[in-house]
Amino acid sequence: MRIMLQIDGAYLERMLSEEHNSPAIDYSKLANKLVNTVITDSESDLYLLRTYYYHALPWIGRQPNEQEEEMWKKKQGFFTRLAHLPRFDVYLGRTQRIVNDDGSYVFQQKGVNVMMASHMVEMACSGHVTHLILLAPDGDYVPAVRIVKSHGVIVHLAHGQRPQASSELIKAADERIEVTGDFLVDCMRGVY
- Considering its fold, how many domains does the chain have in total? 1
Is there a contact between 147 and 118 (Cβ–Cβ < 8 Å)? no
The CATH number that applies at residue 68 is 3.40.50.1010
d(CA 121, CA 147): 7
Q: Indicate if the pLDDT at residue 28 is higher than 80.
A: yes
Question: Is 143 part of any domain?
Answer: yes
Is there a contact between 57 and 75 (Cβ–Cβ < 8 Å)? yes
Question: Is 102 part of any domain?
Answer: yes
Question: Is 192 part of any domain?
Answer: no
Question: Is 77 part of any domain?
Answer: yes
Secondary structure of residue 128 in the 3-state scheme: coil
Question: Is 97 part of any domain?
Answer: yes
- Helices 142-150 and 112-125 meet at what angle, rounded to 10? 10
Q: Give which of 103, 119, 124, 95 is closest to 10, Cα–Cα.
A: 95
Q: Per-residue pLDDT averaged across 3-29, rounded?
A: 92
Give pLDDT tens digits for 38-83. Answer: 987 557 788 999 999 999 988 787 887 888 888 889 999 999 999 9
Residue 120 binned pLDDT confidence (cut-offs 50, 70, 90): very high
Question: Is 24 part of any domain?
Answer: yes
- Report phi then psi at 32, rounded to 5: -65, -40
Burial class (CB in 10 A: 0-12, 13-18, 19+), 22: exposed
Question: Is 128 part of any domain?
Answer: yes
Range of the domain at 23: 2-187
List C-alpha distances in Å: 75 to 72, 80, 119, 129, 131: 5, 9, 23, 30, 30
- Report phi then psi at 136, rounded to 5: -165, 155
Question: Is 160 part of any domain?
Answer: yes
**pLDDT of res. 39:** 86
**pLDDT of res. 155:** 97
Give pLDDT tens digits for 79-112. Answer: 999 999 999 999 999 888 888 888 888 888 888 9
